[in-house]
Structure 1
């Protein structure tokens, strides 16, 4: 089948639906857990870390703004990699995110289970088996995404409103408890402890607090379904960045100012190790119980928003690669009734459901904790994708000069170069910092990349025997993607 003969998705996502998808991905459950863990390790310095993390976030947003505004297509990172860097890099741009999303879905679902049982325990209501909670959460949003993007966006808008209300409740109720003395010393160090020992946790906090901001990348994966994408991609990024930045900074500063540090380290009970629970747990005894309940429920909803958006966005990446047949074209089909890439959605949903019963067993073979191990797989995959995006941005003016020249939001060439190089450097540097905590997780990613390379070269040779040049197919935009700009 010709690449231009596949059925397109004709249902579209509006501005606020897209904002809800983006905010839910960029915040998610991590905003309820990561700050407490980083505060336990780095102390008040996380107030500086969250501000520093905004710098690479801006670099990432500018990259997405320029690429998404110039070439608004479904499966953005695959298309940008294959068209602007090279066919092989396009293959990595679809295969690596698949592994990362599987890991992210498991991470979010297991985190949802842990948080749910912690909340139920507080209320004296027993517990839910981890596998049952994981299956329930993933199964629900697999079905919702299968039956239509309009349902997905309506659910997401409601969930994001609840998520924001929970964050605002924590900040507003915490402000009266803020003590300025809690913000100093910024870099606490023990007697005889060198400054470098306190700076290392700060650097890790910068990386960890920045990671959720990479959720902005989902906007370039649904370009085909976004109403007026050339104008709305920048609008969604601007609105989403403002919401996420303000809320993240407010959470971190309220946490440090209002919650005693010992609540996050539990000295004497866990040997000073960080608490696994999130905002609701560390604020126990400081904030009123009704507020803690609201925050706890919001954290559960946040996990749901993450799962929902992962299904929605990255299924489009696989669908778009399947149209080029770089992956089996069975995943390119769009459901006749539901108008969704149903098989690509199943590709993301079924493996985590099958893996759920075995996640607990990984603790014995994947030190550190299995959730930390999954995070390394996730962020390594995301960093690789952003590094490919940085090279794609550098090549954009050369490969598609008219697309760049006539973009509504055009980065001046010097700025474009800085943003491109900055994203590559940040991605590679942060990858080195993250993988050091779980080398085995990085080894899995490398093995997956090797397997992807083998699949790529196999399909290139197989199609060459049929007289089809897949590399050429992966170098040109499809006809419907050329509307509004030349494919030069």
Structure 2
């Protein structure tokens, strides 16, 4: 059994991740520093810097679709130009992210100080950095949805600022434009190019992107275009409404611009946007940077201690701790301007190497190198990227120039004295072919599992499902599969923290082998066609739906999670699956099960869920030789007309069954308690379930949830893909209709 990697990042997520990593220091910190370098021509510096990033973005897009591996640009450079240059690139990228994260935290403290008057900015930055290190260490789940909302909030606030303040721009502020000459513009370009570093960092999770041939290049170019336009407009406004000397000397340019136009409310809003952007950038820096020591260690370029994974948190704790420790040192030891320049120097170095790596791959004409996207303008676009990067580095100040040269020297010496004796590969010739063969094997296995062979039932298991629970689920799935002449796909979904790259979790463990063996044994016992597989992802619910779509699944059968208002508040996985699954879904609350003599179906007149419950129950009953009982809670004072309609409805459902059937209508007071008493004698209970909506379901627990939590025996809660989705007011409307019907 192989583990497949789930691609669950769409175009919107790619744009959100990329923009979230870019929108930060470029807007909230660097305009004032860059203004001091170039004067009003700082606008041109931001525009040119965005253009200079395009070759690297195109190269990353092509390489990312050819080699979707964790490690991103480092992997591409190491595979294309060998472990020597790869060591330099890995260390350079790692430091870029560290300096960018440190810059975001230090800059964020200046904005936070506007409201809270912090006693010590550096100390506060250190405390916040420590918290973020802890968050990444324990593997707190991040979601693309949260990142998307943060980007939307930031862009909305900035858009309002631009639309209002652009009317206040004074054209005289741009005359003269080139106050610092061409050298000043080049110096400013070298400073602000780090603002666009995030555009390529999404390649580090290229293996997790849906349809990468389209979504990776399109997402990168869209995010780069939007961010460049945003930068240029904001800097244009800042130069036009803020006094030049004031702008040159401030670390909070947005506050300086907003205060006279919007007052206190505007300042609070812009500080909120700044904190969201900068903390998001810092956290993304720690998360992404920690993957580079992991990738370097995996390739034997640094000691293997960096690839160790914490037994409880399943995160690369050594890599995260070292990454966080270096970031804390940077925060404590360097002023904000020097941090920005060092980050840009390392970023420019990596941009040049990425373009050179693409040339290396193209010129080798490898049979396995088949990217879904190819960079237009090859090789001239890449040559321009290499030459422009080299030129910009030579124009930088002494400290960042020494830093770029220093990391090159240190990386080279480390390779000569440590790496060369540990590895025997030379660029793309050996290592890339071996890894591509492995990827082809995984892809072939996934193709075989996903190959359509008629009706499909997917048994979706989470890793924490016990052996007994697996057996119970298979025992329920088997008769349904035989009735439908379907195959059962037993897929275990292994979720790893965002901090842990997916390709590090594909190695088969003894537990995986044991899972496959016991599932095969049980499949032989139940006499049903069964296939076993495992998928590794960062988001199990997304992976389940994606697999169901890919494999043409007709029914998803999975364990039900406990119902609680807390889960409803933060969003239940079951609701997400029901809303998006392309097929019917059945959630099984596992309980005591010996033999199935009676199955109770709580009917609710749902035109799609009731027939599905009947079909599943009848399949199970035929296998066990049991009987079916329909139960309908009519409630108090139900009219004879209502009772007759229920009996007629039960007769219609009876026509769908091959097993013995009887019907029960519950009348009188305390219908809910009577319903529980009526069904708790059954061996298996069938209920309908619908998606939970936040506010109503925090106040009123759904009837099916109330029943399920009171029962000890197994409960199957079904949701037909054809049933309409629950609306915001549906739980309340259901109650009103139920009462009105009983009055008739």
1:314 and 2:314 correspond: no
Deviates more, 1:23-32 or 1:252-261: 252-261
Q: Is the 8 A contact 1:187 1:198 kept in 2?
A: yes
Deviation at 1:345, TM superposition (A): 2.3
- The alignment partner of 1:410 has SS state of coil
1:469 and 2:460 correspond: no
Q: Is the 8 A contact 2:10 2:209 kept in 1?
A: yes
1:393 and 2:384 correspond: no
Residue in 2 aligned with 1:193?
none
1:34 and 2:30 correspond: yes
Q: Is the 8 A contact 1:169 1:294 kept in 2?
A: no
Alpha-carbon distance in structure 1 between the residues aligned to 2:89 and 2:408: 10
Deviation at 1:343, TM superposition (A): 3.1
Question: Which structure features the higher share of helix residues?
Answer: 1
- Go from structure 1 to structure 2 and tell me whether the alpha carbon gap of 1:372 and 1:310 turns closer, same or farther (over 3 Å shift): same
| Aligned with 2:242 (options 256, 259, 262) | 259
1:127 and 2:102 correspond: no
Residue in 1 aligned with 2:83?
87
Alpha-carbon distance in structure 1 between the residues aligned to 2:236 and 2:154: 18
Q: Is the 8 A contact 1:259 1:283 kept in 2?
A: no
Aligned residues: 439
Residue in 2 aligned with 1:64?
60
Deviations 1:305-338 (A, max 9, x none): 2112212323223222222222122323455665
- The 5-angstrom pairing of residues 12-23 of structure 1 reads 12-23=8-19
Alpha-carbon distance in structure 1 between the residues aligned to 2:232 and 2:319: 36
Residue in 1 aligned with 2:185?
202
1:212 and 2:195 correspond: yes
1:433 and 2:395 correspond: yes
Q: Is the 8 A contact 1:174 1:287 kept in 2?
A: no
Alpha-carbon distance in structure 2 between the residues aligned to 1:264 and 1:12: 43
Residue in 1 aligned with 2:263?
288
Q: Is the 8 A contact 2:302 2:419 kept in 1?
A: no
- The alignment partner of 1:241 has SS state of helix
Provide the aligned C-alpha RMSD in A. 3.0
Q: Is the 8 A contact 2:23 2:195 kept in 1?
A: yes
Alpha-carbon distance in structure 1 between the residues aligned to 2:42 and 2:383: 26
- The 5-angstrom pairing of residues 37-186 of structure 1 reads 37-117=33-113, 119-120=114-115, 125-148=116-139, 150-151=141-142, 153-186=144-177
Deviation at 1:205, TM superposition (A): 2.9
- Go from structure 1 to structure 2 and tell me whether the alpha carbon gap of 1:101 and 1:327 turns closer, same or farther (over 3 Å shift): same
- The alignment partner of 1:46 has SS state of helix
Alpha-carbon distance in structure 1 between the residues aligned to 2:323 and 2:226: 28
Alpha-carbon distance in structure 2 between the residues aligned to 1:325 and 1:354: 26
- Bigger RCO of structures 1 and 2 (CA < 8 A, at least 6 apart): 1
- The alignment partner of 2:29 has SS state of helix
- Go from structure 1 to structure 2 and tell me whether the alpha carbon gap of 1:45 and 1:378 turns closer, same or farther (over 3 Å shift): closer
Deviates more, 1:37-46 or 1:232-241: 37-46
- The 5-angstrom pairing of residues 356-375 of structure 1 reads 356=331, 358-359=332-333, 370-375=335-340
1:407 and 2:382 correspond: no
- The alignment partner of 1:396 has SS state of helix
Alpha-carbon distance in structure 2 between the residues aligned to 1:71 and 1:51: 30
Residue in 2 aligned with 1:271?
none
Alpha-carbon distance in structure 2 between the residues aligned to 1:182 and 1:449: 41
Residue in 2 aligned with 1:384?
349
Deviation at 1:31, TM superposition (A): 1.2
- Go from structure 1 to structure 2 and tell me whether the alpha carbon gap of 1:484 and 1:401 turns closer, same or farther (over 3 Å shift): farther
Residue in 2 aligned with 1:276?
251
Q: Is the 8 A contact 1:56 1:423 kept in 2?
A: yes
Alpha-carbon distance in structure 1 between the residues aligned to 2:99 and 2:241: 34
Deviation at 1:155, TM superposition (A): 4.2
Q: Is the 8 A contact 1:263 1:282 kept in 2?
A: no
Please, what TM-score do these two structures have when normalized by structure 2? 0.54
Deviations 1:320-372 (A, max 9, x none): 2222222122323455665543432223113323565x42xx5xxxxxxx222
Q: Is the 8 A contact 1:109 1:133 kept in 2?
A: no
| Aligned with 2:318 (options 330, 338, 343) | 343
Which ranges of structure 1 fall in alignment gaps of 5 or more residues?
189-196, 266-273, 363-369
- Go from structure 1 to structure 2 and tell me whether the alpha carbon gap of 1:161 and 1:147 turns closer, same or farther (over 3 Å shift): farther
- The 5-angstrom pairing of residues 225-264 of structure 1 reads 225-264=208-247
Residue in 2 aligned with 1:455?
414
Deviation at 1:92, TM superposition (A): 0.8
Residue in 1 aligned with 2:401?
442
Deviation at 1:280, TM superposition (A): 0.9
- Go from structure 1 to structure 2 and tell me whether the alpha carbon gap of 1:444 and 1:179 turns closer, same or farther (over 3 Å shift): closer
Deviation at 1:72, TM superposition (A): 1.9
Question: Which structure features the higher share of strand residues?
Answer: 2
| Aligned with 1:324 (options 299, 308, 332) | 299
Deviation at 1:131, TM superposition (A): 4.0
Alpha-carbon distance in structure 2 between the residues aligned to 1:456 and 1:155: 40
- Go from structure 1 to structure 2 and tell me whether the alpha carbon gap of 1:374 and 1:355 turns closer, same or farther (over 3 Å shift): closer
Deviation at 1:90, TM superposition (A): 0.8
Alpha-carbon distance in structure 2 between the residues aligned to 1:254 and 1:207: 22
Deviation at 1:16, TM superposition (A): 3.1
Alpha-carbon distance in structure 2 between the residues aligned to 1:135 and 1:11: 35
Please, what TM-score do these two structures have when normalized by structure 1? 0.80
- Go from structure 1 to structure 2 and tell me whether the alpha carbon gap of 1:346 and 1:209 turns closer, same or farther (over 3 Å shift): same
- Go from structure 1 to structure 2 and tell me whether the alpha carbon gap of 1:295 and 1:281 turns closer, same or farther (over 3 Å shift): same
Which ranges of structure 2 fall in alignment gaps of 5 or more residues?
445-744
Deviations 1:2-24 (A, max 9, x none): xxx9x997685444333222112
Deviations 1:83-111 (A, max 9, x none): 11122001111122233333333322222
Alpha-carbon distance in structure 2 between the residues aligned to 1:388 and 1:14: 28
